[in-house]
Amino acid sequence: MLLAISGCGTPDSKPSPTPAETANTDAAQPSGPNLARDLPALPEMKGGRGDQSQSFTENGRLDRIVYFSGVTAGHVLNYYLDEMPAIGWTEVSRSTLSAKGGEIEYESPDKTARLRIKVTREPRNRSNTMLALSTKLDGKN
């Protein structure tokens, strides 16, 4: 039995990329994991349901993660008020904080990132905690 294989094109031609390979290949956009996932979070928050997203702008990146958990809003806010300064982040603003929630914004130690923490109270005293981390590209504002 003789098997003949023939091909089309030149030997050094490359196959066309699949749609998955061509999606989101803009060199100006950083790739990699969602950076907000590496931020401090209560173990009780990480044990709950979480959603994450990334978006890119002309001069930066926004990584967001939202935790839905049984932890009260006040407990979550107190955690971040203690934890973020302990790891070198500086508070730059805050809304009125209460048992129903609030917002706190921090700047990273190297001043290249801002973190907005928004906590809201859900039914049955559960919390919805959003960590929105914005980072700059190439030192641009």
Task: Please write the tens of the pLDDT for every residue from 80-124.
Answer: 999 999 999 999 999 999 988 999 999 999 998 898 999 998 887
141/100: higher pLDDT: 100
Domain residue spans of the chain:
56-136
Q: Which is higher by pLDDT, 4 or 82?
A: 82
| Res 73 pLDDT > 50 | yes
Instruction: Say what the pLDDT of residue 23 is.
Output: 35
Indicate the helix (H) or strand (E) that contains 114: strand 113-121
Give the per-residue pLDDT at 12: 45
Counting Cα atoms < 13 Å in the Cβ hemisphere of 63 gives 16
- In this prediction, residue 7 carries a pLDDT of 39
Give the per-residue pLDDT at 119: 92
Measured CA to CA, the distance from residue 50 to residue 87 in angstroms comes to: 23
CA distances from 84 to 7, 20, 71, 92, 111 (A): 60, 37, 18, 12, 14
Helix (H) or strand (E) holding 117: strand 113-121
The tens digit of pLDDT for each residue in 18-57 reads: 333 333 333 344 456 777 878 888 887 766 566 776 777 7
Percent of the chain with pLDDT over 90: 26
Q: Is the pTM of this model over 0.85?
A: no
Q: What residues are paired with 91 via a beta bridge?
A: 106
pLDDT confidence tier of residue 130, bands split at 50, 70 and 90: confident
CA distance 40 to 127: 16
Q: With 50 as the cut, is the pLDDT of residue 6 above it?
A: no
- Homologous superfamily (CATH) for 56-136: Kinase associated domain 1, KA1 (3.30.310.80)
Coil, strand or helix at 38: helix
